[in-house]
Amino acid sequence: MMILCLVSGCSGEPRPPALRGAMDLSAWDFRRNGPVALDGTWDFYWNRLYGPEAFASEPPPSPDFHAAVPDSWTGFSGARRRPREGFATYRLRVALPSGERTMALRLTEVMTARRIFVNGSLVSSVGRVGKSRGDMAAANRPCEAAFTARGTADIIVQVSNFDDKTGGILRSVLLGTEEQIRERGRRSLAFDLFLFGSLLLIGLYHLSLYPMRRRDHSPLFFGLFCVVIALRVIVTGEVFIHELVPAISWLLQIRIECITLGCAAILAHFFRTLFPDEIAGAPVTVFVWVTAVYALVVMTTPVYVFSTVLDIYQALLVAMGLYLIAMMVRAVARRRRGAAVILGGFLVLFAVVMNDILYSQLVIQTAYLTPLGLVAFVFSQALVISMKFSHGYEDIEVFSKELEQYALNLEDVIRDRTMQLEKERNALKSRNSIIEEQLRMAKRIQQQIIPRHSPVGFIHARYKPMDHVGGDFYDFIQFQGSDDIGIFVSDVSGHGVPAAFITSMIKSYILNLGREREDPAVLLRELNGMLAHQTGGHFVTAFYGIFDRSSGRIRYSVAGHNMPFVVEAGRTYQLQGAKGIPLAIMDNAEMEGEGRVYRNSAQRLPSGGRLVLYTDGLVEIVGSGGTFDERELAGAMLEFSHLGGDEFVESLFGRIAAFRGGESFEDDICLICIDM
C-alpha cells in the first residue's frame, strides 16, 4: 500500500475532492502532506478547444457537463459517453494557500495530445492539439509544468485524440510544489533506468551463457525475455526512449510497447525448457503462433484496431498464465528442483500483470507495477541458478568419491582393457591386411581394363584414381579396315570399389557390342539398356566419339558428360551438340517415352589444334586459391598449347597438382589429349 500511495500521491491527510470544476486546497499543507491528485469532476467542453481568453469573457462558456478525471471520455456514463475521435477542453479552478509560490503539475497519460494553460499562460504542450487527424500530432509521455501561483490556479487542459481507442485524461493530475513534482519525476526516471540497466545486463549475461552450453535453452529464452522487457521499460513509464531517440514517433513508441507484451511467449518457452514433463509443447506452440499473429496486426494496422486486438491478447495472456501456474504447481508436487521458488516468483509477476491489465483498461486506478513483479521474478530465477550451482557442486563431490573408488581398481581395469584392445587391434590388423590385398588386386584388375598406352601416336592420356581404384574409365576402339578410332570416356558417380566394379561392367559391355560401336548414339543407347537398374543407384556420364584424323571430322554422342575443349590458334572453345541424360537413370523405354533419346553430333576440327577430353574431377579441384574450374582449365591449356602431346598432358596435371597443393585429389581424374 505504501508503494501505491507514493505513486498516486496520497498521504495520511484526507484529500478534498474536485467537484463541478472547482477544488479547495487553501488549507492543504503541501510541505507536510506532499502533492495532491486533482481527482474528481472537472468542467468538460466537448469538441471545443478553449484557451484562457475564452474564460476571461463575461459570462464564460458553460460546460457541457462535469467529467470524471481520471477517465476516458469514451467511458463517461449514460448520454455523456463520447466517441473515441474528437477534441475537448478540461478546466479546474483550484484554491491554493495564500501567498506567492512556485507550483507544478505532473500529467502522465493523456491521449493523445495535450496543451496545458495555468492562470492564462501556456505551461506545457505534448504533441500538437488539433481539431482533425491532419491538424494534430499524437504524443504521450509524462510532462511537468511549473507555474507561479498567487492563491488560485486556473487549470485548462486541451486534449485531442484521433488515433487511440481511448481519449481524455486517463491518469491522475498531480499538483505540488515544483521541487516535489521534480523529485517525483526524478525518482520515477531513476527507477526506470535502474530497472532497464539491470534487466539489460541480466539478459545479456544469460545470452552469453547460452553459447557455452547450447543443450540448455533456458538461458537463451530467459535472456531474450529480460532484453525485451528492458526495451519495454524505456517505452513506458517515464518513456526514456525519447531521451535516447528524440525523433521517435508516438506511433512507433506505442507499437513497440504493444509488441513487447509478446515477450510472454518467450517466457512460456522458458518455462517449457525448465519443466518439459509438465508443460506440454502444443499449448506453448499455439500461444507463440497467436503472439506472432498479434505482432503482425500491431505492425500493420492503425492504433485503434490493434489496441482492440490487444484486449483479446491480454485475455489469452491471462489464460496462458493460469495454465503455466497450474503446470508449475504440478512440478512442485513432483518435487522438481527449483519449481517452488520459480512458482513463487511467477505468482508475484502474474499478480502485478493482472493489476497492470486492469489498470490499462481503466478498471482500477493504482499504478503500473510490472517492474516490481519483474524484480521478484528475476530474483527467483537468480536463486534457482544459485541452487543449480549448489547442486552441481554436490554432484561433483559425489562423482569425486566415486572416482576415488574407481581409481583404486584402475590398474586392474586398465590391464583388462589393454588386453581386449590388443586382441581387437590384432583382429583389425588382420582384416586390414586382407582389405589392402583385395584393393591391390582390384587395382591390378582395373589397370588391365584401362589402356596402358595409346594405340596411336597422336593421342595422349593420364589417369589418376582418388583411391586405389576409381570410377573414371576410358578406352580406345579401333575398327577393322578403317583409320577411324573411337574414344570412350565415362565417369561413375561415387568412388572406390563400387564405382570400379561398374567400370568393369562398362568395359565388358563395350567389348560385346560389336557393330553397335560404329555409331556413338547407338552405343550409348545399348549401354544404357544394359546398365539400367543394375548399378545400385549410381549413374554414369559418358562421351563417345569416332575421330577420322585424315578429314579432322569427329562424330560423337554425349550422356551428361563434360563437353571436350578444342584448343587452336590462341583460343579455346567447347564442342557443341545434343547432350543426353547420364546412363542408368532411366531405361530406354522411359527415355523414348519422354523423347529423350541419345543423338549424334558432328564437327570438323581445325588442323594443328587439339581436342581435350576430361572428367569432372579435373574442374572441381578445391585449393587454397578457390576452385579449379573450366575457366582455369582453359587458361592452362592455352598456356601449354605450344608443348608436345605428352608434355602438354603432364604440364596440365602438374598445374592442377600445384593448385591442389599435392597429388591427393577429392575425385578421380582422367585427361585425354588428341592432336589434330
pLDDT band of residue 440 (cuts 50, 70, 90) is: low
pLDDT band of residue 392 (cuts 50, 70, 90) is: low
Q: What are the two backbone dihedrals, phi and then psi, of residue 546, each rounded to the nearest 5 degrees? A: -115, 120
CATH number for the domain running over 451-675: 3.60.40.10
Q: Is the pLDDT of residue 117 over 80?
A: yes
Please name which of 500, 562, 563, 503 lies closest in space to residue 531, comparing C-alpha atoms.
503
What average pLDDT does the structure give for the chain?
A: 85
Whether 113 contacts 129, CB under 8 Å? yes
Per-residue DSSP letter, 534: -
**Mean per-residue pLDDT for 429-442?**
65
Q: What are the two backbone dihedrals, phi and then psi, of residue 349, each rounded to the nearest 5 degrees? A: -60, -40
Q: Is the pLDDT of residue 4 over 50?
A: no
Q: What is the pLDDT of residue 9?
A: 44
pLDDT band of residue 176 (cuts 50, 70, 90) is: very high
CA dist 601 and 589 (Å) reads 22
- Extract the C-alpha cell encoding 153: 490556479
Q: What is the pLDDT of residue 294?
A: 92
Percent of the chain with pLDDT over 90: 35
pLDDT band of residue 2 (cuts 50, 70, 90) is: very low
Place of cell 551438340: 577
**Mean per-residue pLDDT for 352-359?**
79
Q: In Å, how far from its chain's centre is CA 64?
A: 54
**Mean per-residue pLDDT for 303-312?**
84
**Mean per-residue pLDDT for 378-386?**
71
- Please report, for the chain, the start and end positions of each structural domain, with discontinuous segments joined by +: 2-185, 409-449, 451-675
Q: Is the pLDDT of residue 10 over 50?
A: no
pLDDT, tens digit, 9 for 90 and up, residues 455-495: 888 999 988 877 666 778 899 998 887 889 999 999 998 77
Which stretch, 142-146, 352-356, 567-571, has highest mean pLDDT?
142-146
Q: Is the pLDDT of residue 575 over 90?
A: yes
**Mean per-residue pLDDT for 624-629?**
82
pLDDT, tens digit, 9 for 90 and up, residues 665-674: 777 888 999 9
Neighbours of 325 (CB within 10 A): 15
CA angle in degrees (0–180, nearest 5) for 39-43-48:
130
Q: Is the model more confident about 520 or about 205?
A: 520
Residues with Cβ < 8 Å from 667, sequence gap 6 or more? 466, 495, 615, 616, 617, 620
Whether 94 contacts 37, CB under 8 Å? no
Whether 230 contacts 263, CB under 8 Å? no
**Mean per-residue pLDDT for 537-561?**
92
Q: What is the pLDDT of residue 8?
A: 41
Q: What is the pLDDT of residue 186?
A: 92
Whether 637 contacts 645, CB under 8 Å? no
Residues β-bridged to residue 91: 43, 156
Q: Is the pLDDT of residue 88 over 90?
A: yes
Residues with Cβ < 8 Å from 245, sequence gap 6 or more? none
**Mean per-residue pLDDT for 185-191?**
90
Mapped to the 3 state alphabet, what secondary structure does 317-371 carry? HHHHHHHHHHHHHHHHHCCCCCHHHHHHHHHHHHHHHHHHHHHHCCCCCCCCCHH
The amino acid occupying position 570 is G
Q: What is the pLDDT of residue 6?
A: 39
Mapped to the 3 state alphabet, what secondary structure does 202-231 carry? HHHHHHHHHHHCCCCCHHHHHHHHHHHHHH
CA dist 9 and 205 (Å) reads 37
The amino acid occupying position 295 is A
CATH number for the domain running over 2-185: 2.60.120.260
Helix, strand, or coil (residue 662) = coil
CA dist 330 and 146 (Å) reads 55
Q: Is the pLDDT of residue 87 over 70?
A: yes
Q: What is the pLDDT of residue 546?
A: 94
Please name which of 538, 568, 536, 674 lies closest in space to residue 612, comparing C-alpha atoms.
674
Q: Is the pLDDT of residue 197 over 60?
A: yes
